[in-house]
Amino acid sequence: MTLDAGGTNLIFSAVRGGEEIVERIGMSARTDNLELFLQTIIDGFKELQSKLSQKPVAISFCFPGPAEYEDGIIGNLENLHVFQGGVALGPMLEDIFQIPVFINNDGDLFAYGEAVAGLLPEVNALLAKSGSPKRYQNMFGATFGTGFGGGIVHRGELFLGDNSAQGEINRTRNKIMCDCSVEETVSIRGIRRMYAREAGIKMVNSPSPKVIFEIGMGWKEGERKAACKAFEEFAIVVGDAFANAITLIDGLIVIGGGLSRAYPLFLQRLVDEMNTQYTTTSGTSLNRLEVKAFNLENNHELMQFIRGDTREIMVPFSGRKIKYDPLKRVGVGITRLGTANAVAIGAYAFALNQLDKRN
């Protein structure tokens, strides 16, 4: 059983074999009273369970943080003020339903879903079809929306930090506004603020990012130059943050969230930013990354990425040859599953993975 916990609405569902097996149940949450909010969660799962032909093996869902996710404890939430002082949500549900409960954040589960059934297996299938020896086992997932979320998958496992604070790319430094976090630019409010600044209007009059994207594409009336500038700054800041992240992770990057739909206006500039150079103190150039980043939504770059630099080399003291691809590279692509679906698949796969370990 799983739950999509929004600010005001709770959507319950059940998944088997990677697919939903019952009609979703929607309930309104009382955000002014913790006991009533928790009771709504309990009632939603009970109603869902009553529709199932067999007992579920686990509950797995995402919930806002800060939290101690492995312990199922939710901390002080900014957008849900009834959660304060530590609320043992996971243990509560385990006591009531007598099955394991797994809670993570949406960035982590999005990354896991895309690693299990989305961009990562798609890329590996293309590499296998081309005869390349290259395969990917690591992924960084990022979501663009109200905020900037992230998650890390390492060789089939969701990476979990010691403080449930892994993948928090939103706390990296903003390249353009150096005293600010990257999230001041990489968010809905960031796009609206930059468009308002460039268009010479008040923030309150700035349209939604969807409309700003449509203006930038020339599909709607508006300040097109301002729209393109807003997404260019967005791309520069994200590209810089991704370069920092992927230097440590060394894997594919997948992007989701509402703002990801605007990728035609920002993705190439983002990848170009990752491929910029440093200047050393001696005046020479140094590539920003040890690897080269490719835009997987650009057909030309995708073909270069898949082709790589595959060759055959001799094994010393042997007549045997092996394939070798010395081109170190990472790719940046858009969600293949859709953000919400990737989160649901990630929650499902994470629960099964944890149950396998327990057994």
Q: Do domains 2-104 and 109-337 have the same CATH topology?
A: yes
What string of DSSP letters covers 116-140? HHSHHHHHHHHHHHHT------EEE
CB atoms within 10 A of CB 131: 10
What's the rounded mean pLDDT across residues 271-283?
96
Query: Per the CATH hierarchy, to which homologous superfamily does domain 2-104 belong?
Result: ATPase, nucleotide binding domain (3.30.420.40)
Model confidence over 142-196: pLDDT tens digits? 999 989 999 999 999 999 999 999 999 999 999 999 999 999 999 999 999 999 9
What string of DSSP letters covers 307-341? HTT-EEEEPTTSS-EEEE----EEEEEE-SS-HHH
Return the closest-CA partner of residue 59 out of 77, 78, 73, 46.
Answer: 46
Any idea which residue has 């200047």 for tokens? 279
Q: pLDDT value at position 187? A: 95
How do the domains of the chain map onto residue ranges? 2-104, 109-337
Distance in angstroms (rounded) separating the CA atoms of residues 345 and 348? 5
Q: pLDDT value at position 81? A: 87
Strand partners, 292: 329
Q: pLDDT value at position 31? A: 83
Each as own residue / partner, the long-range contacts of residues 22-27 (CB below 8 Å, 24 or more positions apart, any chain) are: 22/48, 22/51, 22/52, 23/51
Cβ-Cβ contacts under 8 Å for 183 (sequence gap 6 or more): 147, 148, 170, 171, 190
What is the pLDDT confidence band of residue 18, given thresholds at 50, 70 and 90? confident
What is the pLDDT confidence band of residue 7, given thresholds at 50, 70 and 90? low
Pairing of strands 157-158, 148-154: antiparallel
Distance in angstroms (rounded) separating the CA atoms of residues 310 and 325? 4
Cβ-Cβ contacts under 8 Å for 169 (sequence gap 6 or more): 142, 148, 149, 150, 182, 241, 245
User: In the predicted model, is pLDDT for residue 20 greater than 90?
Assistant: no
Task: Select 109-337's CATH number: 3.40.50.10420, 3.50.50.60, 3.30.200.210, 3.30.420.40.
Answer: 3.30.420.40
Percentages (nearest 5) of helix, strand, coil residues in the chain: 45, 20, 35
Model confidence over 289-347: pLDDT tens digits? 999 999 999 999 999 999 999 999 999 999 899 999 999 999 999 999 999 889 989 99
The size of the chain, in residues, is 359
